[in-house]
């Protein structure tokens, strides 16, 4: 019985854990994007490849 | 055979067409190396996912699972965790200044052209080994599909890859990655139900697998320490490999990066889980194979109907090509942009630069296949080569990159010693250390100790080196 339960957990637990991680990621993403933050301009750029990708004030 | 030829012929024509289209849209080095930095979340996430999903997934992972069982599958969870770390922690600071390559970032942060040259050299050598593993897998597929000798298959795949990557650069790679990802998803989505039906349903599949290999659904297939440290290698490597970091520069802003990463997480992990189920079917259908790496090609050839089998083989080919083209971009940029233009000929015109960039990709694309033809690098299971590459990249670059944007006190001496020490420790452990611990652990620990220790012992970085990444501080 124990081995059947363990086998079930090893197989289905992987799918369930992945689902949980995706849900947590979406919650985090929505939380980050709902925070009211100033969108700033970039820092100094060496001019090598263009502009900043990041948004000021968004660092964790 | 003729069906395979049609499917592969159509596939290659699409890929070449994209290469030709990209040639007309590449005007400068920013276009050539980071697709102009204008990618949206769908293309950005797709190229991230396609680059991550390699022959390691379709040939190597299934090969290891065939041998050691389902516990190996739990390693896949390190991927979403690593990508969350990238999107939430690293990207907001790493992308403050858009560069074209990882070595160019390291040069800017550590105010040293030497650091750029050193990191480019590490990337170049490690990438060539990784490309070799993928080309071996491509040769195996060509052998199965067309019946040509493996060596001719390796040459053919390399020629096709170089044709569109050299002319189209990153733009060609991004669009072909998208097409290749669609083929991969279609291939596994259609193959899994058929493979399960072939073994009389999911319940019977579990029973058969337990009968053939009782260790499949236990934690005993791999030692726990090895499982944990391999997961660490996947996680650190998913963050710190240059072909992934550079895609952060290719996406247009942080919101795009967050969405693109979510898309990549869903696709990478989803495809991996479906491939794992196929590996279970292969344990039942082909209980005695000389190497686990043959499991997926055997499913495509012997289990699936001819049309779907051809699509599955095209999916495997897509996985390999979408990774190798990205690695060609990374290795080619290391050779031409970071080494040649940086150290040898800095004053070239824009036209000369793009010409040298193309030449760089051509050169690094020829080296792996030439090494393989002379017998160097054959014989290892694909997945273990993938893991070694991942361990090397993680050991060399994780600390200099992450601490580079979070620790003002990090110095060029610290970063250089972390890179060299991390690579040496990884190699030494791989050669002489116990196999129950993946080399990433000692490599990462040595890299971290050297990064912190040597930085504290060396003079602090000048203010101008920190302005871009620590504004106002």
pLDDT digits (tens, 9 = 90+) for B311-339: 888 888 888 888 888 888 888 888 888 88
- Asked whether the predicted pLDDT for residue A44 surpasses 90, the reply is no
Could you tell me which residue, A52 or B340, shows the higher pLDDT?
A: B340
Confidence class of residue A22 from pLDDT cuts 50, 70 and 90? very high
The shortest C-alpha distance from B441 to chain A (Å) reads 24
Structure tokens at B154: 């390796």
Contacts with A, B 132-191, CB within 8 Å: none
Q: By C-alpha distance, which of B321, B359, B392 is closest to B32?
A: B359
Region A5-19: mean pLDDT is: 85
Is the Cβ pair B252, A17 closer than 8 Å?
no
Confidence class of residue A4 from pLDDT cuts 50, 70 and 90? low
Confidence class of residue A57 from pLDDT cuts 50, 70 and 90? very low
Q: By C-alpha distance, which of B402, B398, B394 is closest to B92?
A: B402
At a CB cut-off of 8 Å and minimum separation 6, what does B410 contact? B109, B110, B400, B403, B404, B451, B455, B461
Q: Tell me, yes or no, if B253 comes closer than 8 A to chain A by beta carbon.
A: yes
Confidence class of residue A11 from pLDDT cuts 50, 70 and 90? confident
Is the Cβ pair A43, B108 closer than 8 Å?
no
Report in angstroms the alpha-carbon separations of A3 from A7, B47, B69, B105, B216. Answer: 6, 41, 15, 51, 12
pLDDT score of B378? 61
Residue B43 and residue B31: Cα distance in Å, rounded? 15
- Asked whether the predicted pLDDT for residue A49 surpasses 50, the reply is no
The shortest C-alpha distance from B403 to chain A (Å) reads 14
Q: Tell me, yes or no, if A37 comes closer than 8 A to chain B by beta carbon.
A: no
Report in angstroms the alpha-carbon separations of B255 from A33, B6, B225, B261, B467. Answer: 8, 41, 37, 10, 24
CB-CB contact of B248 with B91 (8 Å): yes
- Indicate if ipTM > 0.90: no
Q: What is the pTM of this model?
A: 0.86
For B272, the closest chain A residue by CA position comes to A15
Contacts of A50 in chain B (CB under 8 A): 30, 36-37, 98
- What parts of chain B have a pLDDT lower than 50? none
Contacts with A, B 275-334, CB within 8 Å: none
Is the Cβ pair B80, A28 closer than 8 Å?
no
- Nearest-by-Cβ selection for B70 from A11, A46, A54: A11
Length of chain A (residues): 60
For testing contact with chain B, the best of A3, A25, A39 (most B CBs within 10 A): A25
Q: Tell me, yes or no, if A18 comes closer than 8 A to chain B by beta carbon.
A: yes
pLDDT score of A50? 44
For testing contact with chain B, the best of A5, A28, A54 (most B CBs within 10 A): A54
> How many residue contacts between A and B have a Cβ separation below 8 Å?
127
pLDDT score of B19? 85
Is the Cβ pair B77, A21 closer than 8 Å?
yes
Residue B40 and residue B92: Cα distance in Å, rounded? 17
Q: By C-alpha distance, which of A14, A1, A3 is closest to B217?
A: A3
Residue B251 in 3-state DSSP?
strand
Contacts of B218 in chain A (CB under 8 A): 3, 6-7, 10
Half-sphere exposure of B123 (CA within 13 A, CB side): 33
pLDDT score of B262? 97
How many C-beta atoms lie closer than 10 Å to residue B123's C-beta?
Answer: 28
Contacts of A51 in chain B (CB under 8 A): 37, 98
Residue B337 in 3-state DSSP?
helix
- Nearest-by-Cβ selection for A22 from B29, B88, B266: B266
pLDDT score of A43? 38
Q: Round the average pLDDT of chain B to a whole number and report it.
A: 86
Contacts with A, B 1-30, CB within 8 Å: 29-30
Residue B406 and residue B368: Cα distance in Å, rounded? 36
The shortest C-alpha distance from B90 to chain A (Å) reads 9
Residue B190 and residue B251: Cα distance in Å, rounded? 31
List B39's β-bridge partners, or say none: B251
Is the Cβ pair B30, A49 closer than 8 Å?
yes
- Asked whether the predicted pLDDT for residue A58 surpasses 80, the reply is no
Structure tokens at B270: 């989803």
Contacts of A25 in chain B (CB under 8 A): 80, 84, 262, 265
Residue A6 and residue B450: Cα distance in Å, rounded? 42
């Amino acid at each position: 019985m124990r081995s059947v339960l363990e086998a079930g957990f090893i197989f289905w637990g992987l799918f369930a854990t992945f689902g949980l991680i995706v849900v947590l990621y979406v919650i985090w993403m929505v939380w980050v994007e709902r925070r009211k933050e100033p969108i700033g301009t970039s820092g100094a750029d060496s001019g090598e490849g263009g502009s900043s990708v990041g948004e000021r004030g968004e660092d964790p | 055979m003729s069906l395979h030829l049609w499917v592969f012929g159509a596939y290659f024509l699409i890929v070449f067409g994209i290469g030709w289209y990209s040639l007309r849209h590449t005007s400068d080095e920013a276009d050539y190396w980071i697709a102009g930095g204008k990618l949206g979340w769908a293309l950005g996430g797709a190229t991230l996912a396609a680059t991550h999903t390699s022959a390691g997934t379709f040939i190597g992972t299934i090969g290891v699972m065939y041998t050691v069982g389902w516990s190996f599958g739990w390693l896949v969870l390190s991927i979403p965790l690593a990508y969350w770390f990238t999107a939430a922690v690293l990207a907001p600071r790493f992308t403050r200044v858009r560069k074209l390559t990882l070595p160019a970032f390291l040069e800017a942060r550590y105010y040293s052209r030497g650091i750029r040259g050193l990191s480019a050299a590490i990337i170049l050598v490690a990438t060539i080994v990784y490309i070799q593993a993928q080309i071996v897998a491509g040769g195996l597929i060509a052998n199965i599909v067309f019946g040509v000798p493996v060596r001719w298959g390796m040459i053919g795949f390399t020629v096709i890859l170089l044709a569109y990557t050299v002319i189209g650069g990153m733009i060609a790679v991004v669009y072909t990655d998208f097409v290749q990802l669609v083929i991969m998803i279609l291939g596994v989505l259609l193959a899994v139900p058929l493979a399960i039906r072939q073994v009389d349903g999911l319940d019977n599949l579990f029973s058969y697998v337990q009968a053939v290999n009782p260790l499949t659904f236990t934690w005993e297939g791999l030692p726990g320490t090895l499982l944990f440290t391999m997961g660490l290698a996947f996680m650190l490597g998913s963050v710190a490999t240059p072909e992934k970091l550079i895609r952060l520069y290719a996406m247009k802003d942080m919101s795009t990066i967050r969405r693109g990463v979510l898309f990549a997480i869903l696709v990478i992990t989803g495809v991996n889980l479906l491939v794992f189920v196929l590996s279970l079917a292969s344990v039942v259908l082909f209980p005695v194979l000389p190497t686990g790496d043959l499991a997926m090609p055997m499913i495509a050839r012997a289990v699936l109907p001819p049309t779907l089998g051809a699509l599955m083989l095209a999916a495997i080919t897509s996985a390999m090509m979408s990774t190798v083209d990205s690695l060609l971009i990374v290795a080619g940029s290391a050779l031409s942009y970071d080494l040649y233009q940086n150290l040898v000929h800095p004053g070239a015109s824009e036209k000369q630069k793009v010409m040298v960039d193309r030449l760089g990709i051509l050169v690094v694309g020829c080296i792996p296949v030439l090494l393989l033809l002379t017998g160097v690098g054959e014989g290892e299971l694909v997945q273990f080569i993938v893991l070694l590459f991942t361990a090397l990249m993680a050991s060399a670059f994780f600390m200099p990159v992450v601490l580079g944007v979070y620790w003002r006190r990090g110095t060029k001496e610290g970063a250089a010693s972390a890179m060299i020490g991390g690579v040496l420790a990884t190699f030494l452990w791989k050669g002489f250390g116990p196999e129950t611990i993946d080399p990433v652990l000692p490599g990462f620990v040595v890299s971290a100790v050297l990064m912190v220790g040597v930085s504290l012992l060396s003079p602090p970085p000048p203010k101008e080196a920190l302005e871009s990444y620590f504004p106002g501080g």
